[in-house]
Amino acid sequence: MGGLNLEVFKFGMYVMFPIGIMYYFGTNLDSRFAVQDFWPKAEHANRVPTEREEIREELERLRTRRNKWVLHFLR
């Protein structure tokens, strides 16, 4: 049978184990669980056209794409 020292040790483990786990997983999250190149760079991301000419070009591109799609399925 254990004495007082064993009970103090067990109590310390019961208290410190969850605190240690929370400290381990709660600190330095950015470097430990980060995924490299997760977010796309600005040049690879979609950009909403804001200028009148860009909007016109985008509409023309979408119209030609839709027409190709319709012609493909009408054959």
pLDDT for residue 53: 97
Residues of the chain with pLDDT under 50: none
Task: Give the amino acid at 25.
Answer: F
pLDDT for residue 1: 60
Q: Using CA atoms, how far apart are residues 75 and 70, in angstroms rounded to an integer?
A: 9
Question: pLDDT tens digit string along 35-46?
Answer: 888 888 888 888
In this prediction the pTM is: 0.42
DSSP 59-70: HHHHHHHHHHHH
Task: Give the amino acid at 16.
Answer: M
